[in-house]
Structure 1
């Protein structure tokens, strides 16, 4: 908060010292900052629902359009690919032309192509609309973290990030619940199309609120032009890694998928070299090289890769086991996840409001250990009850898993961005979101492949045990990497002496 406020004229009736909080600076970005946070969270919810809700609707889509399994898989993969490939570019565009402008463009485009997905007449139109929808999501999503850092004063930014994390966790878990309900309810005869139509009122509300409330001058100082060479290099590297991950299992993992993933490594290296060279020569790189000298940020990237891989792989494996192994309906499988959602809400509330500000990094470690205990509890339940397991048998394991997830995810983003400067915030937001998407893709691809392999050779119960074991191992690795994070997210600003 600017010290210039202390120089303004005192009100007619001056308050007693210490009796009231200091007023916020003028401007809508401060008066309405919690509405701004809500608008950003709506965008996050739309994106996360779109990546989880469609998997539940896929059988109904396949029944309408027919076609092979590859077409069915591309309904999800088209969105994932364009989203992951363009995320960092979208973040950099926010630095250059303004985060408010890019958020508006991304949200409007996302809403428009959600409508086109809903009215698709065949799988080709749906897959194409999903690809463009993912591209607009890549323009929309990275702007949120930078805008939050701009409109929230240091004393409140931790609370804002504490709300950000649990909404992401809850959206990921509630996606299958909502998807099962919408497809089964067949509202106004829309069937599976309602999973896309639900984005329209949310998206339009986001556009209106962002237009009215977001600060207009949100460019990053020193950002001059888009690094086209860096964009091509990074997009190619991400594509080489993500494409075989989402398509390899369906194709039987031919040799080119492994060569593609291996080829992404040197290309990432060339991209890093070029970014350093561009910054040294006075240019404006796509990703600020200084980010990777920030221990908090680089450690957070490692934690994010393993945590989001574990979370996505676990959700994918549980959904497969419930529907394919135990023969549950989409509604049954989705509603069974409610205890996990409640656990996330409780854990996030404790972590964000009480534990995180007081204990910092320790809360993340406790969260990962609690989540690991919940996963092992689920493993024990499936080992005991097998295919005849009921929803009641899973309540304890799901609730404990959700509790740990909530404890971890609430302070995670605040810690990850602890030492990031304003100049780096756009790049940092894009990289964090890209890591989240990358971790999720790795988790689904790796654990999904292992699940099907074990299920075909040893049965669904053994496949579930393998998935739970890998999830627990990934969480323990994330806990070890987490020791590189700072002990506290960010210190409270020192009071200004008058």
Structure 2
């Protein structure tokens, strides 16, 4: 087993065309995930209208996907080690593609949310294998170059993805409307699967690895019940069903925490939580990513539902956010290691200024487009500063031997809080929106965002001063 692994790494030192093919496949898989994450920001109003569903479907379109993915990502990497990263990559991709197809043909809210959950489950198997595959086929000394290319490709996708989704919905090819977006996922998934079967070489698995998926499933169940109660409560004024779901979710999560505190093999490495810098980074990341995701979700809802913009037009209006993210990411990248905490401080300040600007423009202007694009760009600059720095700074004081486990925790938490953020903030939007006020709903969400941003700022002094070398 060991000799085979050494031979595998020896062969991988040759930077071959196959290595580049694997790199492009991993990028394509991440683009597929990015499209599926952002599509509901653009398509949600159209989906709700054409399915004849209630507004309570809106939070679940995004939350069902990211919640399932975040919960499974915690064990996804270990499953790849146990059964083989190539096998798990292809299984995850095949399942993701199949669930995209069921989403495209869904005729009820239940089937669509179940399909989105399935996408998240298989995405949680697919995405963690990408980094493992890159480490297997690309020499370590070339990883910096690879990640230097990885960032711009994903950044371009973050801009083009929502625009393409909006264009497809507006063009309405063959009368498919929003379904065409999921069919695009199917087309991309099939292409990646066909190429991947030929291009990705087989790798050893390690049958000695023991995995207990029950903890991850318990975590997903507890979070799902809690979010279900919060969403239902916001939409139905806290009926018995909402209270029961919230209570059950809280009890399940408490039982999960109690069991994890006593088991010899916890789902999350306990020693990480004795590191103040890591915990502070985890808390900051949870707050920041949740509010960013929720705010962008609600902004798109506001543009389409309140200002009656088409999905394509709404995607164009919010495109400056992605432009700001790209600009700040490239500018701040070289300073993260030496001035990580300072970069985050500037990012939080810029994000807060952008949200304040949006609040003023929406509150004063009855027709805030295109003026709203200016504060959106400023908020994007703040996001770009923080996105590239949060993980590096959180890992700044982590022992190198624990870096892999810590990075996995951060990625999983990011997905989970993305689900919570989009669900909670969009629920606040739906609960406070009134037919007569064009800015109702969105202004309370922006004020909530500012309050959470202040909490983020208060945690900054606890962060490590410098960031870790991630590549």
TM-score in terms of structure 1 length: 0.78
Q: Which residue of 1 aligns with 2:378?
A: 400
Q: Indicate the residue corresponding to 1:448 in structure 2.
A: 426
Q: Which residue in 2 is equivalent to 1:347?
A: 328
Q: Is residue 335 of structure 1 aligned with residue 321 of structure 2?
A: no
Q: Is the counterpart of residue 369 in structure 1 residue 349 in structure 2? A: yes
| Two-structure CA RMSD over aligned residues (Å) | 3.7
Indicate whether 1:179 and 2:165 are aligned. yes
Gaps (5+ residues) in structure 2?
A: 1-8
Pick from 299, 302, 319: which aligns with 1:321?
302
The match for 1:53 is: 39
CA distance in 1, matches of 2:353, 2:224: 35
Which residue in the other structure is 1:388 paired with?
A: 367
Structure 2 distance, partners of 1:91, 1:384, is 49
Who is 1:21 aligned against?
none
Q: Matched residue of 2:459: which SS?
A: helix
Instruction: Indicate the residue corresponding to 1:99 in structure 2.
Output: 85
CA distance in 1, matches of 2:26, 2:304: 33
| Of 285, 292, 307, the match for 2:273 | 292
Residue by residue, what CA displacement relative to the aligned partner does 1:112-144 show, whole Å, maximum 9, x if unpaired?
Answer: 221232244555544443332222112122334
Q: Which residue of structure 2 lines up, in the alignment, with residue 19 of structure 1?
A: none
Q: Does 1:224 align with 2:232?
A: no
> Are 1:163 and 1:410, in contact at CA under 8 Å, matched by a contact in 2?
no
Single out whichever of 86-95 and 165-174 deviates more from structure 2: 165-174
Change (3 A) 1:360 1:214: farther
Contact 2:293–2:418 (8 Å) recurs in 1: yes
Q: 1:170·1:344 contact (CA, 8 Å) conserved in 2?
A: no
Q: Once the two structures are superposed, what CA deviation does each residue of 1:167-215 show, in whole Å capped at 9, x if it has no partner? A: 7777566554332211111235432221012113432444456556667
Q: Which runs of 5+ in 1 are unaligned?
A: 1-23, 494-498
**Alignment of structure 1 residues 53-452 onto 2, 5 Å:** 53-62=39-48, 64-69=50-55, 75-76=61-62, 78-120=64-106, 123=109, 125-145=111-131, 175-207=161-193, 211=197, 216-217=202-203, 224-258=209-243, 260-261=245-246, 264-265=249-250, 267-279=252-264, 284-352=265-333, 354-385=334-365, 387-391=366-370, 393-417=371-395, 419=398, 425=404, 427-452=405-430
| Cα deviation, residue 473, structure 1 | 2.5
Q: Give the corresponding residue for 2:29.
A: 43
SS at match of 2:434: helix
CA distance, structure 2, for counterparts of residue 314 and residue 449 of structure 1: 11
What is the CA-CA distance between 1:487 and the residue it aligns to? 2.4
Instruction: Check conservation: 2:67, 2:415, Cα contact below 8 A.
Output: no
CA deviations on 1:6-50 (whole Å, 9 max, x unpaired) are xxxxxxxxxxxxxxxxxx965168657666554334323322322
Q: How many residues align?
A: 461
State whether structure 2 residue 451 is matched by structure 1 residue 473: yes
Deviations 1:352-390 (A, max 9, x none): 2x33244223212211111111111122222331x2222
- Give the secondary-structure state (helix, strand or coil) at the position aligned to 2:433: helix
Aligned-pair distance for 1:335? Answer: 0.9
Q: Decide whether the 8 Å contact of 2:92 with 2:122 is kept in 1.
A: yes
User: Which residue matches 2:462?
Assistant: 484
Offset from partner CA, 1:83-103 (integer Å, 9 cap, x none): 344332434423432333322
* CA distance in structure 1 between the aligned counterparts of 2:210 and 2:124, rounded to whole angstroms: 18
Residues 36 and 210 in structure 1, CA contact (< 8 A), matched pair in contact too: yes
The structural deviation recorded for 1:153 is 6.9
More divergent stretch after superposition (170-179 vs 285-294): 170-179
Seen in structure 2, the aligned counterparts of structure 1 residues 122 and 394 have a Cα distance that, compared at 3 Å, is closer
Is the Cα contact below 8 Å between 2:332 and 2:343 reproduced in 1?
Answer: yes
Q: Which shifted more, 358-367 or 173-182?
A: 173-182
**Kindly tell me: are residues 366 and 428 of structure 1, through their superposed partners in 2, closer, same or farther at Cα, counting changes over 3 Å?**
same
Give the match for residue 20 of structure 1: none
For the structure 1 residues 152 and 39, does the alpha-carbon distance in structure 2 shift closer, same or farther, using more than 3 Å as the test? same
Q: CA deviation at 1:349?
A: 1.2
Q: Give the 3-state SS of the residue equivalent to 2:267 in structure 1.
A: coil
Q: 1:417 to 1:211 in 2, by over 3 A?
A: farther
Shift of residue 302 of structure 1? 0.9
Structure possessing the higher radius of gyration over alpha carbons = 1
In structure 2, how many angstroms separate the alpha carbons of the residues matched to 1:130 and 1:225? 29
C-alpha contact (below 8 Å) 2:235/2:430 kept by paired residues: no
